[in-house]
């Protein structure tokens, strides 16, 4: 039985979203959990299985094979993953002109697979790789690579290839980073879905939105740092799919 108080929060959230002038949604790994993509933190998180070092730039340069082994396992999962209801609902809100943009920390391309068009990939993408030789930097589509021998090498110059995701010790890619902060400054309503809020500078996006007077609605089964530090105005506790379903029903 859903409590009266919880129903009111959903009604309030739906009302705010419907009246938004520039709705921006900020997503993390949690929105893809129901698509079978593991999150990074939490009980079954990737960082329980791998040392997060495997995705740090210095480790990649020293041990490209080890880093690629971990990435390939993750790559195989996301290559076969499908968008879930939450991704699809956000794409629907964009088609209706209610949602203006999505800023995602995810590299799984599931928002685009669900049909979302205005997506800023704050931590880059697994879709492409780049040759690390600064005099070459040739790009390839990851799915066209032969990943039997790791690390994959550039056909043009023989150097190691690096996925176009933002590693630890790297700055988020431009122009996605600057454009994402512009979105956070423009929005009057930001929905946060499935992020622990621990990684910077991404976690500053909701803070920037809040500082510019935006209403912050958060969807997560657990509290995040954004909940704890009071960035969130309305906390809708639950999984992305079930909460988005309730919001879409309230908006009808």
Site string for ligand APR, 31-60 (x = CB under 6 A): x-xx----xxxx--x---------------
Looking only at residues 94 through 113 of this chain, which bind ligand APR when binding is defined by CB under 6 A? 105
Choose among 130, 156, 151: nearest CA to 141. Answer: 130
Nearer to Zn ion by Cβ, of 53 and 133: the residue is 133
Closest CA to 194 of 110, 128, 80: 110
34 contact choice in ligand APR, Zn ion, none (CB below 5 to 8 Å, kind-dependent): ligand APR
> How far is the C-alpha of 240 from the C-alpha of 238, rounded, in Å?
6
Catalytic residue chosen out of the listed positions 63, 87, 111, 123 = 123
DSSP-derived secondary structure for 81-144:
----HHHHHHHHHHHTTSEEEEEE---S-HHHHTT--SEEETTEEEEEEEES-TTT--EEEGGG
Give min distance, CB of 146 to ligand APR, in A. Answer: 26
Binding mask 168-207 for ligand APR (x = CB under 6 A): --------------------------xxx-xx--------
The partner in contact with residue 226, picked from Zn ion, ligand APR, none with C-beta cut-offs of 5 to 8 angstroms by kind, is none
SS3 167: coil
Determine the number of helices (DSSP H) and then strands (DSSP E) in the chain. 10, 9
Residue with tokens 């996301």: 78
- Which residue in the set 72, 87, 123, 162 belongs to the binding site for ligand APR (CB under 6 A)? 123
Residue 138 Cβ vs Zn ion, minimum distance, rounded to whole Å: 5
State in angstroms the smallest separation of the CB of 124 from ligand APR: 9
Q: Least Å distance between CB 168 and ligand APR?
A: 8
* 64 near ligand APR (CB under 6 A): no
Residue 40 to residue 56: CA distance in whole angstroms:
14
Residues with active-site annotation: 123
């Amino acid at each position: 039985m859903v409590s009266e108080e919880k129903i009111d929060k959903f009604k309030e959230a739906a009302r705010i979203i419907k009246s938004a002038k520039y709705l921006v949604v900020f997503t993390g790994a949690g929105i893809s959990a129901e698509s079978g993509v593991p999150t990074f933190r939490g009980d079954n998180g990737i960082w329980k299985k791998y040392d997060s070092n495997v995705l740090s730039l210095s480790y990649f340069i020293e041990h490209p094979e080890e880093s690629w082994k971990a990435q390939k396992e993750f790559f195989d999962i996301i290559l076969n993953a499908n968008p879930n209801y939450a991704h699809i609902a956000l794409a629907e809100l964009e088609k209706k002109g209610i949602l203006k943009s999505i800023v995602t920390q995810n590299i799984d391309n599931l928002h685009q697979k669900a049909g979302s068009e205005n997506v800023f990939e704050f931590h880059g993408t697994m879709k492409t790789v780049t040759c690390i030789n600064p005099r070459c930097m040739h790009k390839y589509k990851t799915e066209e690579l032969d990943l039997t021998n790791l690390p994959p090498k550039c056909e043009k110059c023989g150097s190691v290839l690096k996925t176009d995701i933002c590693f630890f010790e790297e700055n988020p890619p431009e122009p996605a980073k600057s454009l994402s902060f512009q979105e956070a400054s423009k929005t009057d309503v930001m929905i946060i879905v499935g992020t622990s809020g621990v990684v910077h500078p991404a976690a500053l996006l909701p803070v920037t939105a809040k500082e510019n007077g935006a209403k912050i609605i958060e969807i997560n089964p657990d509290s995040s740092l954004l909940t704890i530090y009071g960035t969130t105005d309305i906390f809708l506790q639950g999984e992305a799919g079930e909460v988005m379903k309730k919001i879409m029903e309230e908006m009808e």
